[in-house]
Amino acid sequence: MVSAELFNKSVSDLIIQIGKKEDDNLTKAAEVMAKTIANGGVVHVFGTGHSVGLGIDMKNKIGSLIPIHIMRMNDFVLKGVVSLAEYTDKDNEFERRSGLAKDFIDLYTINPNDSFIIISNSGINGIVIDLALEARKRGHKVIVVTSMAHTAAEDSRHPSGKKLYQCADIVIDNCGPHGDALLPTDTVAKICSVSSICNNFIAQCLSVLTIDLLIEKYHLDPPVITGEIAHDEQIKNKYSECL
């Protein structure tokens, strides 16, 4: 059976499941983020495809942490690393490729205290695995958000054979199903995906837990957007080189 009511109820159950099952991992990830920010660093967020949503949901809202930087895949084109034709080639999906992480990281100002959040529902594609390996090689902490059910069921597309969760310091399972869609149908495909919704919940948990730690553990005024323009601009200017 497919219905909006069933979908909404299932999503609520998933949110409760993430909260209970991933409590420790969310807390550990927030500790990494708080330490990064307390030391003057920035948290770089990268997701491909629909996984871009987690980073977007952490930015530009009242209460959002300012030192969050979204790494955009289209920067490969904008900064001249690859051509638009190569980037949009349907027969060689860009996100599946490996060997690009060094070029990608080098597009940005990355400081030693920075950390990374890398999001991929499947966790099998070349570019995210490459980025996680390169970031850890350079000494950065890497938090991964993925669907363990999906990644366990598919083969890696990276030459190392590794999956994204195997290249992380902390792994957060978004608890979504294999294939992302939730409700069985009369066809071969399920309908109504959940990963974006689960990832938004994870994003808000990470933001709130990090702010808690910045105040309670590090005794800092958290660098968040308050809506007071002068205050917010002053903090943004502090990070202008990295954001």
Partner 1 sequence: MGRIEEISDTFISSIESAYSKQADNLHRISKLIFDVIADGGVIQLFGIGHGEEFVNELNFRAGGLAPFHGMRLSDLVTRGLIDQNEIDNGRINERTDILDLFTKIYKLDERDAYFLISFKGNEPLIIHLAKQLKNRGHLVIGVVNRKTYDRYANNEGLLQYCDQYIDLSLDEPDIVTQVNGYQITGITSTVADIFAQDINANLYNLYLENHIDPPILLSANLKDADKHNNALTDVYNGRVR
Subset of 49-108 contacting partner 1 (CB under 8 A): 49-50, 52-53, 56-57, 60-64, 72, 74, 77-78, 84, 87, 90, 93
Q: CB of residue 183 vs partner 1: minimum separation in angstroms?
A: 7
Contact 194, 9 (CB under 8 A): no
Half-sphere exposure at residue 233, Cβ-oriented, CA atoms within 13 angstroms: 3
Q: Which span sits near partner 1 by CB under 8 A: 34-42, 106-114, 118-126, 134-142?
A: 118-126
Residue 234 is a binding residue for partner 1 (CB under 8 A)? no
Q: Which span sits near partner 1 by CB under 8 A: 105-113, 133-141, 161-169, 181-189?
A: 181-189
Q: Which of residues 132-161 bind partner 1 (CB under 8 A)?
A: 150, 154
Q: Which is nearer to partner 1, 54 or 140 (CB)?
A: 54
Q: Which span sits near partner 1 by CB under 8 A: 12-20, 32-40, 107-115, 132-140?
A: 12-20
Give Cα separations from 35 to 131, 136, 173 (angstroms).
21, 17, 22
Q: CB of residue 80 vs partner 1: minimum separation in angstroms?
A: 12
For 38, the 3-state DSSP assignment is: helix
Half-sphere exposure at residue 20, Cβ-oriented, CA atoms within 13 angstroms: 6
Give Cα separations from 134 to 103, 165, 167 (angstroms).
10, 14, 10
N-terminal to C-terminal alpha carbon distance within the chain: 46
Tokens found for residue 61: 């809202």
Q: CB of residue 159 vs partner 1: minimum separation in angstroms?
A: 17
Residue 11 is a binding residue for partner 1 (CB under 8 A)? yes
Contact 127, 104 (CB under 8 A): yes
Q: Which is nearer to partner 1, 140 or 172 (CB)?
A: 172
